[in-house]
Amino acid sequence: RKEVEQDPGPFNVPEGATVAFNCTYSNSASQSFFWYRQDCRKEPKLLMSVYSSGNEDGRFTAQLNRASQYISLLIRDSKLSDSATYLCVVKSGYQGGGTSYGKLTFGQGTILTVHP
Amino acid sequence: EPEVTQTPSHQVTQMGQEVILRCVPISNHLYFYWYRQILGQKVEFLVSFYNNEISEKSEIFDDQFSVERPDGSNFTLKIRSTKLEDSAMYFCASEWNTEAFFGQGTRLTVV
Pick from A43, A98, A105: CB nearest B105: A43
Q: Do B104 and A43 touch (CB under 8 A)?
A: yes
Give the chain A residue whose CA is nearest to the CA of B29: A101
Q: Is B35 on the interface with A (CB under 8 A)?
A: yes
> Percent of chain B having pLDDT more than 90?
84
Q: Do A42 and B97 touch (CB under 8 A)?
A: no
**Residue A102: exposure state from Cβ atoms within 10 A (0-12, 13-18, ≥19):** buried
Of B1, B5, B3, B2, nearest to B75 by C-alpha is B5
Q: What would the 3-class secondary structure string for B63-107 be?
A: CCEEEECCCCCCEEEEECCCCHHHCEEEEEEEEECCEEEECCCEE
> Percent of chain A having pLDDT more than 70?
94
Q: List pLDDT tens digits, range B21-63.
A: 999 999 888 899 999 999 999 999 999 998 889 999 999 999 9
Pick from B48, B98, B105: CB nearest A32: B98
What letter represents residue A67's amino acid?
A
Q: Do A99 and B48 touch (CB under 8 A)?
A: no
Q: Do B42 and A108 touch (CB under 8 A)?
A: yes
Q: Give pLDDT, residue B30.
A: 86
> Which of A1-5, A45-49, B16-20 has the weakest average pLDDT?
A1-5
